[in-house]
Structure formats: C-alpha cells, structure tokens
Structure 1
C-alpha cells in the first residue's frame, strides 16, 4: 500500500489524489493510505471475530488431536453414553488448541488479506506498462493464500472442510470490505483514461470555439 500510493501520488497530476485546499503532499499521502488501511484492518478484525466465534461454538477436534492428547488407555471403557472422564495426559494448553479446528483461522485471514490485495492491485496498478505485471502479482498473492490453506491440511492441523470454510469467510468479508468500505472501484480512472478525457475536452473546445471574423 505504502509504496504504490507514494508512486501514484508522485505521478498524479489530477484530482485522483483527492487533495484538499491547504493540504500539503504529506497530508494528502497519509490521508490516502489511511483510507485504505482502516477498512483493511476493520475487515481483518471481522474475519478474526467470525472465525473465533465459529471455532469455540463448534469445537471440532484437529486431525492430530490424539497425538496431543496422549490418552491413558487404562481409563478407556466400552459403556454406552457420554464419557466424562478425562483420559488425556498431554499438555492442557495444546489440548485446548487442538479442539478448535473449524474453521481454519490461517485460511480465513490469508484469503481475506490476499484477495483484498488482488482487488487493490486491480484498482491501483492501471499504468499501461504494468498490464502484464498486474495479473502476475495477483496470481502470486492468490497462490500464497491457496498454499497457506493446503499447508494446514498436509500438516494435519486442519481438515479440508476447515480450510474450505475459512476460505469462504475470507472471500465474503473481503468482497464486502472492498466494495462497501473503500472507494477503490468508485469512479476511479487510470491516468491514461483521465488524460484521454482531458484531450477530448480540449478538442471539443477547439471545435466549438467561434471563429472571429477579421
């Protein structure tokens, strides 16, 4: 965010920067960055809140729960009904952590943050010489989020459905945050499009300018 907005502010010569009268370049820059970071942090907090509520409401065991629990086999019984005896002998903190598998917090936050970055690249990297670089960067950050989810599965930290649910949470919150709390796609034009509009307006003025008779 910081580097891209600095480059945009440096090269911008129109109203794209939303500069107000009396603001210097530093104030304008921090205002733009703040308007991007604040919605991002708000969305991140929502993702964390939704994920934690689901985790402690469902209480699904992680795939490696037995390795953490280290159950005492002498306390096993085959009676019907809910077993209340504590058969785990492992570390209680690790056992508690192994009881909150659904949904994956790593998957939800990584998908939210990387998808937010994908939308940010789409809205901000509008220079013609970056048209090939932009989709490459978007693919890289999306693959990072996808790989994060996969790593939680093959590390036996989550079930595949935990990762899928986390990804869905991240996608939904990212879409809501970008399109309702930011102005990334609200009347934004690239510098080339803005320059084209200015040229069209100037040409229209020249054509419609009355000819002065000598």
Structure 2
C-alpha cells in the first residue's frame, strides 16, 4: 500500500538521521567527558573543600585586609554565572535560531552529517561549556592552594583584640559563619574575573568570527567584563592583582576551548563555511 510504503520510508529516514546524529555526537565524546570531569571537580572544590588553613597568620594592622565586609554585592555569584554562561548561551542560540541571516555565508558539503546550523550551535556551546567548566576547576584549585585573604578578611574574622601582640590566627576569629570565614581566604584569583572573561570573552570571539557586520558593535562583551571585574574591587572582595590573575585563568581556559574545539571545525575558514563535525579516523 502507498501509505505503508511512505511510513516505512519515513521511519527509515528518521533512523538514518538518528544514526547520523549519534555518529556525529560520538566524535565529541572526549570533549563531553572533559566538561563532565571539570564540572564535577569545580562543584566539589567549591562546596566541599575548605582552603588551606595551615600556618595562616595575619595582623590587624595590615591595611590590605582591613576593608569593610559588604554582604550585598553589586554582582553576586548567581549573577556572575548568568553573565558568564547564560548570556552567551542566549546570544549564540538566538543567532542560530532567529538570526541566521546575520551569520556569515557558508556552503553545505556532502561530508556534513547534520545541518550546518546545528553543527555551529552544538560546537559553539560545547566549547563554551568546556571553557567555563575548565575555568571553574582551575580557579577553585588555585583559590584553595593559595588561600590568600580577601581585602575584607579582618571584618569577616572578627578577632577579639585583647593582647599586645598584633599577630593573629584563625583560632582568634569569632566569626560563627564558617562559610563567610573560609570564603575570606579565596581572594586569589578572582572567580568573577575568570568566569566573566572565559564566558564573555568567548562570546566576543564567537561574534567577531561568525557574525556579519562591523566588529565594533560586539564591544559590549569586553565592556561588561570590565564592569564585572571592577565591581569586585568596589565590593572589597579582591585586589587589582587578583583581577589580573583571574583574567589570565579565564583567558587560558578560553584559549584552550577555542583551539581544541572551535578551531578544528574551521578548516574551511577562507570560505567562511560553518563548522563541520569531527570524523573519527
């Protein structure tokens, strides 16, 4: 029957599309694993591991850690994650779904197993995920190992000054909120700076690479990075050096994700072809 034959052909086509998608996705297996491992490492170090506290000593006369503790931040942790991850996700998805006419022209080849727009969207978000999770793992690891006091550490510690000696340790702190106290030892590098640069820096590179038009209109991304970084100094959470170190970590994570995931997909960049899926040898 014609109807049965049409249904059979449709099922066969769907099966072929599904197999092609699986084959395409399998070529990114190592990248998926990288994102998973770095994401888990980031979560464990952020919420389950305390900074190095051995031999932590400080002076109440040290002006570099005597700033006032501000419980209400200009850019909180949740806002920072949205700026670093949510904004690039929305912008990239918006261009791939609703702004295709603004994407640089490309040619579809027979080698592509999935739609080129899907390939661009998938590859772009996978690289973004790799940049952010790797950045999170590196940033948290350095914070825990360095254990540098924040500019508002004395205000967090709340030591009772009852002796002539100006040298104090964590045992002299009266702070009852352990998270607030230990978070005061996570100054270097700045997590807000590293995440903002890894996420928005990636978005800026993506827009200048794939979007038609004047590149200067994408400068809002680096401008937002600077504003996020400056907010950490205003909130007494970091020194200028912390912002620089955090920016370097974010830049390194961004560079790794771009060169290992995005750039291999741009072998035909001269013709501005959209990324092609990696094929296994």
Per the shorter chain, which TM-score range?
0.7 to 0.9
1:44 and 1:13, CA in 2 relative to 1: closer, same or farther beyond 3 A? closer
The RMSD of aligned alpha carbons is 2.8
For structure 1, the 5+ residue unaligned runs are: 194-214
Q: TM-score, normalised by structure 1?
A: 0.72
1:85 and 1:136, CA in 2 relative to 1: closer, same or farther beyond 3 A? closer
1:53, 1:68 → 2: CA distance? Answer: 22
Match of 1:78 among 153, 165, 172: 165
1:189, 1:47 → 2: CA distance? Answer: 30
- Residue pairs, 1:163-174, within 5 angstroms: 163-174=243-254
Q: Who is 2:135 aligned against?
A: 47
Q: Who is 2:242 aligned against?
A: 162
2:223, 2:106 → 1: CA distance? Answer: 35
1:102 and 1:18, CA in 2 relative to 1: closer, same or farther beyond 3 A? farther
Question: What is the CA distance between 1:159 and its match in structure 2?
Answer: 1.0
Question: What is the CA distance between 1:28 and its match in structure 2?
Answer: 5.1
SS at match of 2:171: coil
SS at match of 1:50: helix
1:85 and 1:99, CA in 2 relative to 1: closer, same or farther beyond 3 A? closer
1:63, 1:13 → 2: CA distance? Answer: 51
Q: Who is 2:147 aligned against?
A: 59
1:10, 1:18 → 2: CA distance? Answer: 24
Match of 2:203 among 93, 117, 124: 117
> Are the equivalent residues in 2 in contact too, given 1:64–1:157 (CA < 8 A)?
yes
2:208, 2:110 → 1: CA distance? Answer: 17
> Are the equivalent residues in 2 in contact too, given 1:62–1:158 (CA < 8 A)?
yes
- Residue pairs, 1:172-183, within 5 angstroms: 172-183=252-263
1:189, 1:8 → 2: CA distance? Answer: 19
> Are the equivalent residues in 2 in contact too, given 1:123–1:185 (CA < 8 A)?
no
Which gives a bigger RCO, structure 1 or 2 (Cα 8 Å, sep 6+)? 2
1:35, 1:10 → 2: CA distance? Answer: 18
The structure 1 segments of at least 4 consecutive aligned residues displaced by more than 6 Å after TM superposition are none
Match of 2:107 among 11, 14, 37: 14
Worse-superposed segment, 163-172 or 30-39 = 30-39
Q: How many residues align?
A: 178
For structure 2, the 5+ residue unaligned runs are: 1-91, 274-281
Q: Who is 2:64 aligned against?
A: none
Instruction: Say which one has the larger Rg.
Output: 1
